[in-house]
Structure 1
C-alpha cells in the first residue's frame, strides 16, 4: 500500500524523522518497500494566474498569455490546450530550475517562439516530476494564493511510503490502520476522525435483497439525489489520491477511492437512473455476461457473487463495477453502496477474470465487518460537500446468522515470560493491547482479551504474544539460549536415510529438482488420465490449480524447460508427496521420482554419441535399490497410460508393487511437444528405504565353479522368470547368475530368442565336486524345459 507521510502525520505524528519512521514500521512487521519524494527537486515555480489569453499571431496551436505572479505580469507563449483566462497554474519564472532525468536540471531562460518572446513557462505535473505524463497544464484551485511557492502550496516536501503487507494484516490497508500501528508503537494518541451522521432529507431508497447472505451477510445503501458530477474534486483530495497511486476520475469515484484509502472500506456508486428495481446480491446464473468498467466483457461463472438489479448484473461483488451502471458526467442521482463480504467468497474471483483491484485486494484479506456504517456516512459527507445533493436514509440489510463474531482470547502472564524470556509490567501489556483496539480485562492468571472486529488474524494466545513482542520491539527482546536435555537417538540399521539415496543419484550425475505440488490440470490429465486430481479452492493461477497425483508432471515440465534452452542431456530426480483422492479421502504418499534423456556420456572426441535408453535407467535404479541391502527387488513388464507399452516395467518387492519405470509414450511426448525420448521412474519412498538387518558372512577360501549355458525360449519369456527358475533349482551354493548375451537371428526360429548365461557356485566350507555341479545343471535344464519350454542350445 502507498500513502504519503504527511497524510499519516495528520492522524498521528511521532517525533521521528522519515528514516526513523520507516525503520520503526519495518521492525514492527510492516515492511517498507520504498520511500520516494512526492516530486522531483525543482525551484523557482510559483502559483500564477492567466490574466489574458490570445491566439499566437503565427501559430495555430500556441497561445499568447499574460500571466501574473501577484506583483507583475509576464508574457508567456504556451502550447497547452487547457490554458484559459483566469486559470491558476504552476508558473516557472525566469531562473527557475526544472527537473530532468539526468538530475542536472533545466534552467528557464527568456525564449522566442515563432517570433514572440516568452518570459517563463507554465507547467504540467510531468514537468515538475510529479507524474510520468500529463494531458495539459496542472490546474490549481481557484483559491490558490497567487505568488506562493508551489512546493509550499502543494506541500511537496513530503514522501511517498510504500508498505508491503503480509496477507494477515488487512487491518493496515488504510491510513487509519497504519496510524493506529504508529500510535501504538510510539505510545501516543491517534487523532480521531469526526464522522457526522447525515440526516435524511428525502425518503427515496432502494430495496435490497440478500439472496446469497452466506457470502454477503451485510449490505448498506443510500440514495443521494441532485449531485453535480461536474464539480471539481478538491486539490487536497486529488493529491492524496495521487500520492497513493490512484488517478483522479470524477468527484464521486474520487470520494469512494478516498474512503477506501482512509478507512480501508471499498465502496461503489451506481447511477440511480440506470437501476431497474431493487438490488439483489446473488450468484451469477449460467452464461450471464457483464461489461466491466475497464471495457472488457466477461462471461460470469456460477460461483461468482454479483450485485444485480431486477434484470441484470451490475457488478462483480468486491471486484469491479459494470460499465453501463457506473457514474458518468450525465449522472444526477446516485445509489451509494457499501458491504461486508465473506473473504472466502471473494478469494480468487478477481484472478479468474484476469483482474486485481484495490477492492478485491482488501475483500480477499478481510474488511472490518463493523466499518460499513462509518464508511457510508463519511462518503456521503464528502460527496455533499463537493457535489451537493439531497441525502436519503441508509438502507441496511443484514443476516446475523452469517456475520462473524469477535474472538475472545485468554492471555497468561507466565506464558508471555516463557515465550519471550521477558517480564513486562502488566500496565505496559494492557496499554499495548488497548492501543491496538482490544478490550483487556485482568484476571487471576493474566487477561481476558476481546479482539476487535478488524483483526481477523488474532484467534489464539500465541497471536497476542506475537503482538506484544512486535510492539515492544523484536530488537529489544533479551538474548537467551534455550536449554534442554538432548538424548542420543538411535539410528535404525534397517532403514536407509533419504539423504543416502539422494547422494547416490547425485553420484550418478543426476540433479535434485524441487517442483510445485500444484500443477497444470491439462498436463496432469495427459500424464495420469486415470486419476482426477484434487482441485484447489484458491489456486495461484489457472495452470497451478490441481494437486499432483504423480511427480512426473513437474519433472517433465522441468525437462521441457531445459530442452528448449539447448540443454540436450537432462538427469533429474525429486522426492516429495503425491496426492491421490481415494474413497473420499486424500492419500498423501512420499515418492522418489526421476527422469533422464539425451546422451549417455558427455560429448567429447573420445566418446560416442549414443543416447540413453530403457536399460540405462533400469541399471541406475537397480544400483540404487542395492544400497538398501538385503532386500530383493524384481522387474516385470508393466502398464501405464503415460508409458510406452513395450518399454514399461513394474518394480516389485515381494508381492507388492513399489514402483514403475519406462519410456514416455510417443503420443504423450507429441502432445507435450517434446521430441527427445524421455525415460522416467517413480518409487514409493517408504518401501525402498526399509531394508533388512545385515548379517556377517565369512569369505570362502575355496574356489568358485562356473558353468555357461544357453537356452532357446519364446520371445515373450522374461528374464526374471528364467532367473527365478534357476535360483529355485540351483542349490544353496549358487553365488551368482549373469545374463551375458541375447541372440536372435540365423539358427533361431522366428518368435524365439537365445539367452546365454553364466552360473557361479561356491561353498564356504569345502570344494564343490563335478557330480554336485552336474546335478544342479541337470535340475536347471529340466525346470526350464518343463516350466518355460526352454531348449538347451548346443
Structure 2
C-alpha cells in the first residue's frame, strides 16, 4: 500500500517527523517497507511565465526567451526545449540553483547571448525518469512561487507491507484511524454529504447470488463531461500511491478506492440493457475484459450482468464492451460488497490481479459502500459536471459481527503488563471499537471494517500494538533451577554419539521422508498397505515415511563415493515409523528411535602402518560391543532384506533382540553401483542408553591357570552354540573360555573343523592344584564329547 504523506496529514497530523511516524507505524504492525522523498533535493526553482520566444541568431535548435520569474524584471534565458512557447507556465532554475546530480546553474553566455537561468523539464528536477520537453504547469500557477511548494515536492511516499489480515489499512481512511489511535492525534476524516438526486433515472438491481453479493448500490449519473481534466492535486495523490492517472472518471473511482478503501466501477449506462444482476456465471459464458483478455468464465465466478450479457467479473475487473470511454456521457456507478470467499483466488486462477480483487478477497468495509458512492458522485459532479439520479440499493444478509469477550486479567497475563480496565477501555476507544464493560471484562463488537477480530487473542494483539511493542518490558527470564538426577543405569544420548565419533564415525541427519523404492529394497515393503505415505509430500521422491535408516545412509555413501571419499564411516540417530494400532502418543503409528551406522573402505586410514585391509563384519561387531560394554552380547544368524544372507546377524542382550548387523545384500551393491559391500548395523537407541550398573566382585590375588585344547567338530557347528552348551555345565573353576584358532584342511576329516580353545581357571581363595585343573579339563572334554561329539585333535 503506497500513499502520500501529505495526503495522510490532511486526515491526521501528529506532531512527528516522517521517520518517527514510520517507526511508530512499523512497531504497530504496519511495517513501513519504504520511505522515500517524492523528489530529490534542489532549490531556487520557481514558477515562471514565458513572455517571448525568439529564434537564436546563431543556433537553429535554440530559442531566446523572455520569462517572468516574479522578480519584477523579465529574465533572458536561452532554451533548447522543443515545446517552449509564449504563455506557458514552466519551472525556472534561477542562477545559483542546485539541481539534482550536483548541477549548479550559473549566468553564462550561450552562443554569444547571456542566459540567466534554465527552464526545466521533469527529468531535470528529478521527478520523472524521462521527459520530451519542459514541464508544463497549469495556467493558474502563481508566478514566482517555489516549485517545491507549488508541486508539494517536500512530500514523502510511504509504502506499507501489510499482512493479509489488515485489509482495513488498504485506504487512507484506515491508515488515518490507525495513526490517530496510536498517537492520540485528532483525525479529520472525510465528510461525505448525501448527494441529492436531480434526475429520476435509475436502474433496478437484482441479487441472484446473495451469499456472494449481499449488498449492491448503483446510481445513474447523466450529462457528464468525460474529457474534463483531472485536477492536479488528484493526479499527484494517485501517482504517489502508485496509480497512473488515466481520465477524470477512472481517476475518481481510483481516488475513492484509495481514500475510503471501497473499490468502485463505472459502466457506460447507454450500453446496459434492463436490470443489473449479481449472479454466478452461466455455462460456457465468455467475457472480454478491460485488459483485452477474453476468458471462459468458470461456474463459481460471480458476475455482474444485465438482462442480455455479462458486464464484469464482480470485484475483479470490468468488461471492455460496457466500459467507459472519453465519449461516455452517462454512467452507471457501482459500489458493492462482495464476500471474500467469493473473490479469493479467482483472479490468480486466470493469471492476473487487480486493486479491487486485492481488497475484496481480504475484506472490504460492508458499511462503507453507500458512503463511497456518494463520495464518487460528489467528485464527478465537481470535476465532470452532470446530474445524479437516486441511489438504488439491493441488500441481503450482511456479515454479522459477533461480540468477542476480553478478560482484563488474561490480557495482563499474556502481555505481562499491569494494564487495568481503564487503560484498556481508552485503547479501545482510540480504535473506535464498540464495547460493553462488564466489571473488568469487555464485550467488544468488531466494526464492519475489521475482519480480523474474532477471538480474545485478536483483542490482546490490538492492546499490544497500541501500547507499543517497544514499550513492553523484556526482563531476563528467571526460574528456580534444580539439578536433575542422572540415573547410573542411563547413559546420556550425547555420550552414545560421542563414543561413535571417537571410533571414527561421523553423524549425518537425513529426512524422515524417503523414496518408496528404499522401503522395498531395505525393508521389503512392497505392498501399498505397508507404506506410510504422506498426504502432501514436499517432493515426489520423498513421499513415504521410513521404517529403517539404511536408505539414507546408502544415499550418503553414494554421494561420498562420487566425491572420491573412499573410506566412509557414518551414523544417524533418528525415528523410524511403523503401523501399530495401539501405539501412543500418535495413534496408529509407532515411532521408535534407532541408531544406524555404516562402514566402508579401509579398516584403517591409509598410512605407513596400514596393510590396506578392508573393513569387515568383525570390525563393526567390535564397535557395537564397545558401544554396549559391559553388556554380554549374543549374535545369531539372521535373514534380512537389506543384508547379505549368511553374513548378517541379529543382536541380542539378555535374550532380547535390539538390532542387526551385516554386509549389504549383493543385489543392492549392484543396484546402487557400489564398488564393495558396506557393513551396516541398526540398533534400538533405548538399548544403547541403558547400561549395567557396576557391581563389586572380589579380584583374585592368586595366579590363573591357562590350558589349551583343540577339538574336532562338525563344520556346520556354530561357535555360539558350542559356548552355550559348555557354559551350562562348566566347572566353577573355569572363569573364561576363548577361541583362538579355527582350522580345516589336511589332517582334519572332511566336513569337520578344528577349534582351538583356551580355558582359563582361577580361584579367589587359593592357588589351584594340578589335580584340580586336570579334573576340570577332563570335565570340559567330556562335556564337548557328550554334547557335540567333539574329539580331541591328535
Determine if the TM-score, normalized by the shorter chain, exceeds 0.5.
Answer: yes
The correspondence of residues 160-171 of structure 1 with structure 2, limited to 5 A, is 160-171=157-168
Q: 1:455 to 1:68 in 2, by over 3 A?
A: same
CA contact (8 A) 1:305 1:316 kept: yes
Tell me which residue corresponds to 2:407.
411
Deviation per CA, 1:78-110: give whole Å up to 9, x if none.
446x7666554433345433202xxx2353665
2:156 pairs with 1:153: no
CA contact (8 A) 1:99 1:128 kept: yes
Tell me which residue corresponds to 2:444.
449
2:234 pairs with 1:233: no
Count of equivalent residues: 739
Q: 1:52 to 1:710 in 2, by over 3 A?
A: farther
Choose 1 or 2 for highest CA Rg. Answer: 2
Tell me which residue corresponds to 1:387.
384
Distance 2:541 2:396 in 1: 33
Distance 1:66 1:512 in 2: 79
Tell me which residue corresponds to 1:9.
9
Deviation per CA, 1:118-171: give whole Å up to 9, x if none.
765444433322244456654433432233211001122222233344444333
Distance 2:12 2:712 in 1: 93
The correspondence of residues 542-621 of structure 1 with structure 2, limited to 5 A, is none
Residue 32 of structure 1 aligns to a residue whose secondary structure is strand
Tell me which residue corresponds to 1:473.
468
Tell me which residue corresponds to 2:178.
181
Residue 157 of structure 1 aligns to a residue whose secondary structure is coil
Residue 158 of structure 2 aligns to a residue whose secondary structure is strand
The correspondence of residues 272-291 of structure 1 with structure 2, limited to 5 A, is 278-282=276-280
2:123 pairs with 1:140: no
Distance 1:233 1:125 in 2: 19
Distance 1:763 1:313 in 2: 103
Deviation per CA, 1:29-51: give whole Å up to 9, x if none.
43433332221011232224556
Tell me which residue corresponds to 2:747.
none
2:255 pairs with 1:258: yes
Residue 36 of structure 1 aligns to a residue whose secondary structure is strand
Distance 2:726 2:430 in 1: 85
Tell me which residue corresponds to 1:430.
425
Deviation of 1:681 (Å): 11
Gaps of 5+ in 1: 537-541, 714-720, 742-754, 783-794
2:193 pairs with 1:196: yes
2:384 pairs with 1:373: no
Residue 447 of structure 1 aligns to a residue whose secondary structure is strand
Tell me which residue corresponds to 1:96.
97
Distance 1:324 1:661 in 2: 75
Gaps of 5+ in 2: 743-752, 790-794
Q: 1:696 to 1:223 in 2, by over 3 A?
A: same
Residue 210 of structure 1 aligns to a residue whose secondary structure is coil
Tell me which residue corresponds to 1:34.
34
Deviation of 1:446 (Å): 3.7
Residue 127 of structure 1 aligns to a residue whose secondary structure is coil
Tell me which residue corresponds to 1:20.
20
Distance 1:758 1:173 in 2: 89
Q: 1:75 to 1:319 in 2, by over 3 A?
A: same
Deviation of 1:13 (Å): 1.3
CA contact (8 A) 1:206 1:279 kept: yes
Tell me which residue corresponds to 1:339.
337
CA contact (8 A) 1:36 1:161 kept: yes
Residue 400 of structure 1 aligns to a residue whose secondary structure is coil
2:105 pairs with 1:107: yes
The correspondence of residues 635-674 of structure 1 with structure 2, limited to 5 A, is none
Distance 1:668 1:405 in 2: 64
Tell me which residue corresponds to 2:792.
none
TM-score, length of structure 1 as denominator length: 0.67
Distance 1:605 1:323 in 2: 81
Distance 2:604 2:250 in 1: 64
CA contact (8 A) 1:406 1:452 kept: no
Distance 1:607 1:87 in 2: 96
CA contact (8 A) 1:255 1:379 kept: yes
Distance 1:725 1:284 in 2: 82
TM-score, length of structure 2 as denominator length: 0.67
2:119 pairs with 1:125: no
Deviation of 1:456 (Å): 3.5
Residue 372 of structure 2 aligns to a residue whose secondary structure is helix
The partner residue of 2:435 within 427, 436, 440 is 440
Higher mean Cα deviation, 243-252 or 276-285?
A: 276-285
Residue 124 of structure 2 aligns to a residue whose secondary structure is helix
2:694 pairs with 1:696: yes
Tell me which residue corresponds to 2:749.
none
The correspondence of residues 290-369 of structure 1 with structure 2, limited to 5 A, is 305-307=301-303, 309=305, 327-329=324-326, 331-332=328-329, 333=331, 335-342=333-340, 346=344, 358-369=355-366
